[in-house]
């Protein structure tokens, strides 16, 4: 930028949850590298959690963090009562606008890059007279099912009748880009009939509608994975829709992975343990930041991992056992001492990039799925909620980089017994086809984010369009 021309200024607003903050922080960082001034807006709750765990909280230039109150009492669980959180956040437009108007000494706002589930940014962008850039942190296929949720509702596909979900005539059509063999169980689980009277059902429908109010759409995927047609189907009123991901990858390739968004303390010592394991031998087990498992399921999982004979690194989040302290079966730690590492949170990008890791047992959150694909690690999907059912199925059936437990997509809480865990882990770790295919996609992901690649070029187009609009 010339001396007298202020930097373009992007205000970035994630939904306050780990899986949403991470990709938006990475994208904000990419924009900063390309000359933007960034205002990254957390809620006071999410900022506090990030500050508590992040030892190197950012003091980088041209990057500031602001926060506003979400209006919920301190004891509210936030992400474990997502419906209530969404409804409350939807009313935060005035607070957000006041926050932005109260700051001086920064360049004028060029655009608002908003999580697709943060409808409160709609009035803010309109009142500031700047483009509203809707950023989908989930894959394009899942975003399409969200964007067209009202169409699916009017056609009777929502609420999803899970009992009929596997019948072939139940395939869904009618969204502009016909996703190959879209199944009712591919729709986000909050749209299932058992949640119809739940606050989350309406909250998601509302947010889906508002996501259609976009001047520009970006999605954290890449053209070579999902295809241009899928990404174009996210366009609203002829406004561009572009794939810009994987957004975390450029920094990883530069050896510069930042951990400023983490809400938990990362146990770096797992990396030293990985250094001592054989190449491709370790199964990484993690269910992201929100998924819960019953204590009985955790027992079966532990015994299945033990029975598999495979070395494993397991993220046992402190709150995973439905709010209780997770317990391990008696004698388990002693018996698996020479081939297991249990952590409460890991530096996941470094773990997946480690040569010892050969497979990932995952809930299939989009970040984990994309991270695994981009690092060339095959997946064993065990979805729990939201878009994870679609991600795990696509990883298996469409991208052919993963396996899945049978029928967990239909019976959300089916107990997976230890024998099944054991068998599936072995199948994953021995499958050379998956390894070959995921390696091809890894190469494609790297190419996409390098100068001249599809996502790199799309970010350049986006920046040019924003600069033109600001003139």
Residues binding ligand UDX (CB under 6 A): 17-20, 22, 137-138, 262, 286, 288-291, 315, 345-346, 348-349, 365-368, 371, 386-388
Q: Which residues contact 120 (CB under 8 A, 6 or more apart)?
A: 89, 90, 91, 92, 93, 96
262 prior amide bond cis, ω within 30: no
Please, which residue, 110 or 116, has the CB nearer to ligand UDX?
A: 116
Please, which residue, 7 or 81, has the CB nearer to ligand UDX?
A: 81
Distance in Å, CB of 128 to ligand UDX, minimum: 27
Please, which residue, 36 or 314, has the CB nearer to ligand UDX?
A: 314
- Written as six digits, the tokens of 14 are 């994630």
Sign of CA dihedral 274, 373, 411, 150: positive
Distance in Å, CB of 273 to ligand UDX, minimum: 14
Distance in Å, CB of 308 to ligand UDX, minimum: 20
Please, which residue, 130 or 283, has the CB nearer to ligand UDX?
A: 283
Please, which residue, 286 or 310, has the CB nearer to ligand UDX?
A: 286
Please, which residue, 110 or 372, has the CB nearer to ligand UDX?
A: 372
* Tokens 């004028």 found at: 108
Distance in Å, CB of 342 to ligand UDX, minimum: 11
Distance in Å, CB of 123 to ligand UDX, minimum: 25
Looking at the DSSP assignment, which residues form a beta bridge with residue 67? 42
- Written as six digits, the tokens of 161 are 């009748």
CA 6 – CA 288 distance, rounded (Å):
39
Tell how strand 357-362 and strand 216-219 pair up.
unpaired
CA 21 – CA 135 distance, rounded (Å):
12
Q: Which residues contact 405 (CB under 8 A, 6 or more apart)?
A: 380, 381, 382, 416, 420, 424
Distance in Å, CB of 383 to ligand UDX, minimum: 8
């Amino acid at each position: 930028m010339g001396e007298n021309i202020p930097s373009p200024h992007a205000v970035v607003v994630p939904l306050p949850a780990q899986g949403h903050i991470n990709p938006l922080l990475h994208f904000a960082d990419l924009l900063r590298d390309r000359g933007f001034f960034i205002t990254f807006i957390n809620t006071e709750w999410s900022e506090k959690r990030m500050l508590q765990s992040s030892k190197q909280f950012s003091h980088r230039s041209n990057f500031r963090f602001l926060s506003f109150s979400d209006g919920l009492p301190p004891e509210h669980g936030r992400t474990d009562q997502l419906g209530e959180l969404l409804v409350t956040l939807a009313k935060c437009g005035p607070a957000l606008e006041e926050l932005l108007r109260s700051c001086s000494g920064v360049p004028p706002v060029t655009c608002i890059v908003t999580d697709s589930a943060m409808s409160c940014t709609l009035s803010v962008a309109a009142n500031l007279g700047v483009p509203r850039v809707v950023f989908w942190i989930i894959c394009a296929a899942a975003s399409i099912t969200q964007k067209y949720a009202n169409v699916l509702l009017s056609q009777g596909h929502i609420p999803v009748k899970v009992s009929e979900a596997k019948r072939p005539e139940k395939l869904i059509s009618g969204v502009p880009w016909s996703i190959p063999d879209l199944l009712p169980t591919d729709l986000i689980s909050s749209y299932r009939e058992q949640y119809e009277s739940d606050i989350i059902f309406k909250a998601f429908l509302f947010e889906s509608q508002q996501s259609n109010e976009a001047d520009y759409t970006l999605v954290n995927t890449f053209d070579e994975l999902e295809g241009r047609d899928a990404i174009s189907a996210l366009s609203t009123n002829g406004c561009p829709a572009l794939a810009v991901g994987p957004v975390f990858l450029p920094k990883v390739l530069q050896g510069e992975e930042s951990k400023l968004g983490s809400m938990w303390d990362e146990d770096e010592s797992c990396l030293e343990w990985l250094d001592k394991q054989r190449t491709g031998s370790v199964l990484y087990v993690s269910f992201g930041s929100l998924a819960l498992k019953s204590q009985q399921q955790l027992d079966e999982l532990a015994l299945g991992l033990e029975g598999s004979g495979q070395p494993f690194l397991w993220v046992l989040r402190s709150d995973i056992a439905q709010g209780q302290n997770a317990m391990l079966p008696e004698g388990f730690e002693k018996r698996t001492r020479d081939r297991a590492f249990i952590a409460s949170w890991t530096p996941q990008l470094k773990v997946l990039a480690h040569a010892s890791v050969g497979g990932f047992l995952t809930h299939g959150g989009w970040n984990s799925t994309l991270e695994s694909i981009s690092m060339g690690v095959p997946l064993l999907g065990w979805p729990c909620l939201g878009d994870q059912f679609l991600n795990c199925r696509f990883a298996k059936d469409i991208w052919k980089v993963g396996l899945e437990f049978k029928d967990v997509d239909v019976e959300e809480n089916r107990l997976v017994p230890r024998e099944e865990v054991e068998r599936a882990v072995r199948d994953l770790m021995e499958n050379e086809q998956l390894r070959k295919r995921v390696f091809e996609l890894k190469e494609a992901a790297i190419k996409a984010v390098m100068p001249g690649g599809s996502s790199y070029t799309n970010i350049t187009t986006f920046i040019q369009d924003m600069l033109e609009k600001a003139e």
